[in-house]
Amino acid sequence: MAGSAFVFDVLQDAFGRQPSPDRTVVIVTAVAALLAVLLRPVWKIMRNFVTIAHEGGHALAAVLSGRRLSGIRLHSDTSGLTLSKGRPNGPGMVVTGLSGYITPSLLGLAAAAILGAGRITILLWLLLLLLVLMLIMIRNFYGVISVVAAGAIIFAVSWFADSQIQGAFAYAFAWFMLLGGVRAVFELQQSRFRRQAPNSDADQIARLTRVPAMVYVGFFVIVVLACLAFGVRLMLGPVGDLIG
């Protein structure tokens, strides 16, 4: 009986609507996320989380487009690799290639929408589920450590922290994905400009489609900036509200 009551309380906490943090907390988490993206020493560490989302996006797109996922590798230099089997060209490969750089921002936007609905705990649990599914396909030691570490942090916050800490963490996550997605795309173009990334996602898709890689970089820029704009509106409201 006690066990059933415990499960009921857990589910009620998870699926119930939690109050949003104070507006000040939302702004502070935005500033913290911005600093994490702008400060190079911090970004070098935090970019691992963007890479996890990036490679997860490739993996999900591969599966949804009918390809067979072979494995995912995450590297200590914050790069990653997702391998899938299927036709070496065609729509499936294009969709898979396009998905990586936009996934962190789309994930941040989805998180902002869930937070706007007051479902903070559900967001944390969904992130845990995605990490568990991704862990199954990780094929190198560093990748396992990265995903397990990320999962451990989210689990600790969702299980042990009070609602205020959970809310601040969830908002910080959403902000970081939205802002980190933007920086990752601009880093991509910077590397391409310096001719340091001849096999970037944009260049690989360009070779498949015979469309200039800059078109795809432009697509990435439009998507990540649109996600950021909508995310700001969802979490902070219209600009007029901020000024007022």
- 112-159 pLDDT tens trace: 999 999 899 999 999 999 999 999 999 999 999 999 999 999 999 999
Between CA 67 and CA 85 the distance in angstroms is 6
For 164-193, the pLDDT digits (tens) are: 999 999 999 999 999 999 999 999 999 999
The pTM score is: 0.91
For 112-128, b/e burial (b = at least 16 CB within 10 A) is: bbbbeeebbbbbbbebb
**DSSP string over 12-41:** HHHHSPPPPPPHHHHHHHHHHHHHHHHSHH
Between CA 227 and CA 231 the distance in angstroms is 6
Radius of gyration of the chain measured on its C-alpha atoms:
19
